[in-house]
Amino acid sequence: MGSSTSTIELSLSGLVVAVTGSRRAEELARIIRSFGGIPYIAPTVGIEVNQPLNKETVLNTLRIFKEKVDYAVFMTGPGVYSLVFSARELGLGGTLLRLLGGVQVVARSIKPKEALAKCGLQAHVMVPNEHTFEGVGKLLASLGLAAKKVYIFWHGSRSTDLKQVLEGQGATVFETYTYRYSTDINKPGGDILRMMGYDYVDPSEIKVIKLCEDIFASKVGAITFTSPPAVNQLFSIASKHGLAEPLLKSLNMRLIVVAIGPATVRALEEKSVHVDVVPNCYRMGPMIKALSDFVGSHRGSNKNQNNRT
């Protein structure tokens, strides 16, 4: 048993692994350390909650729900929390949950499902087999969409593709969001993440620029992406400072690029980044295990040999 543990601990043997997510940065860092890697935390994306806008969102949501919505789709846990807590601030939390209890609720993944339960929605919540926009679309299609009304609660970005797919099958689609992605986490956004139990790390443009510089200096061996916004924000900041072209070259030539799932892979491919590692199970533990397996099977290759201490 001891030798097996040692093998796992040394499997990344000092590889410096960049963490670009903020919400569970410390948790991911612990997993990287457990495999012998050295985490480099430089979150590229945070959430900014607009409280006055959310009050308007709550009132509009209640108005539409009273007109009868068939399906309510929640993409993220923070989206659930920000909507419910905004409703409670207006004294309308009970009304919101009562109306939600009368529709079929879909959660993109386990996280928004757990958030709904914590906020008091005990009704059955459906989760697609694939925790992606496509997975949500397939689940709704299987339930029947002709003449149905679907309300989608997005995260800080949205997919026009999903709306088009649903409308193409006869649905009327309403959309809203309760926070947006930014290079900062404002106080309401931080409060929501703390309520959800996230040990998040504040994003910083300065840290991201320093990450780019360290990548150019061959001080980083792998980089992990756990969401499309983390990809987009990294390149947005890099472009702002004239670093996008050398960043792309470094990612493709020297770093092991790790993406947690299909949506994140697509975001990277849209930036012309080649993805080296994608886990079969779209979670952080399996993601780092997949990175470890990749390193073990590519010993001696250019990408594997760089940036070890």
Say how many residues make up the chain: 309
Q: Using 70 as the pLDDT threshold, list the residues of the chain that sit under it.
A: 1-10, 46-53, 122-123, 156-159, 179-203, 299-309
Claim to verify: residue 55 and residue 148 sit in the same structural domain: yes
Rounded Cα distance, 284 and 237, in Å: 25
How many domains would you assign to the chain? 2
Let me know whether 70 and 130 are in one domain. yes
User: Does some domain include residue 255?
Assistant: yes
DSSP string, 264-286: HHHHHHHTTPPP-B--SS-SHHH
Single residue among 119, 146, 178 that ends a domain in this structure:
178
pLDDT of 2: 43
Question: What is the full DSSP assignment across 33-45?
Answer: HHTT-EEEE----
Please tell me the predicted confidence (pLDDT) of residue 4. 44
Same domain? For 80 and 31 the reply is no
What's the pLDDT at 11? 79
Render pLDDT for 268-288 as a digit per residue (tens, 0 to 9).
999 999 999 999 988 899 999
Residues 29 and 54 in one domain: no
Q: Is residue 235 part of a domain?
A: yes
Burial class of residue 177, CB neighbours in 10 A (0-12, 13-18, 19+): buried
Q: Give pLDDT, residue 51.
A: 63
Residue 6, pLDDT score: 45
Whether residue 280 sits in one domain with residue 229: yes
Picking from 126, 150, 178, the residue at the C-terminal end of a domain is 178
Are 7 and 39 part of one and the same domain? yes
Q: Does the residue 187 lie in any domain?
A: no
Residues 251 and 301 in one domain: yes
58 lies in the same domain as 163: yes
List b or e across 284-300, with b for residues whose CB sees 16 or more CB atoms inside 10 angstroms. beebbbbbbebbeeeee
- Listed residues 134, 150, 178: the one ending a domain: 178
Residues 38 and 99 in one domain: no
Q: Looking at residue 219, what is its pLDDT?
A: 97
**pLDDT of the residue at 308:** 40
- C-alpha distances (whole Å) from 186 to each of 48, 77, 151, 154, 178 are 5, 17, 26, 19, 13
Clarify whether residues 141 and 226 are in a common domain.
no
DSSP-based three-state secondary structure for 48: strand
User: Domain check: are 55 and 162 in the same one?
Assistant: yes
Q: Is residue 189 part of a domain?
A: no
Distance CA 115, CA 110 (A): 9
Check whether residue 28 and residue 76 sit in a common domain.
no
In a domain, 186, yes or no: no
CA distance linking residue 258 with residue 268, whole number of Å: 10
Give the domain CATH number at 115. 3.40.50.10090
What is residue 195's predicted lDDT score, i.e. its pLDDT? 66
Residue 159, domain extent: 50-178
Q: What is the pLDDT of residue 283?
A: 87
CA distance 294 to 134: 27
Does residue 190 lie in a domain region?
A: no
Listing DSSP states for 196-255 in one string gives: TT-------HHHHHHHHHHHHTT---EEEE-SHHHHHHHHHHHHHTT-HHHHHHHHHHTP
Flag whether 114 is in a domain.
Answer: yes
| pTM attached to this predicted model | 0.68
Rounded to the nearest angstrom, the gap between the alpha carbon of residue 62 and the centroid of all alpha carbons in its chain is 27
